[in-house]
């Protein structure tokens, strides 16, 4: 099972990922996206979130 990771140093809090996959990503107190459930959506939906992030802060974790 592939897992997405968010690079907090790159994330600028646009929350596009949360809009696309709200069961996978959530915004924390610093307005950065964190992965709350890597299995909260199917792989294609997560890929859409990766593609939708304006600053490419999300990637697949190395297995």
Q: Two tokens at 51? A: 């593609």
* Residue 24 binds ligand SF4, judged by CB under 6 A: no
Terminal C-alpha separation, the chain: 9
Among 26, 45, 53, 63, binds ligand SF4 (CB under 6 A): 53
What single-letter DSSP state applies at residue 39?
T
- The answer to the question of residue 17 lying near ligand SF4 (CB under 6 A) is yes
Asked if residue 35 binds ligand SF4 (CB under 6 A), the reply is no
d(CA 63, CA 18): 23
Binding residues vs ligand SF4 (CB under 6 A): 6, 11-17, 33, 53, 55, 57-58
């Amino acid at each position: 099972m592939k897992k997405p990771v968010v690079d907090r140093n790159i994330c600028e809090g646009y929350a596009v990922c949360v809009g696309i996959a709200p069961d996978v990503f959530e915004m924390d107190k610093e307005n950065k996206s964190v992965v709350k459930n890597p299995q909260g959506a199917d792989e294609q939906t997560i890929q859409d979130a990766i593609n939708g992030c304006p600053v490419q802060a999300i990637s697949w974790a190395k297995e």
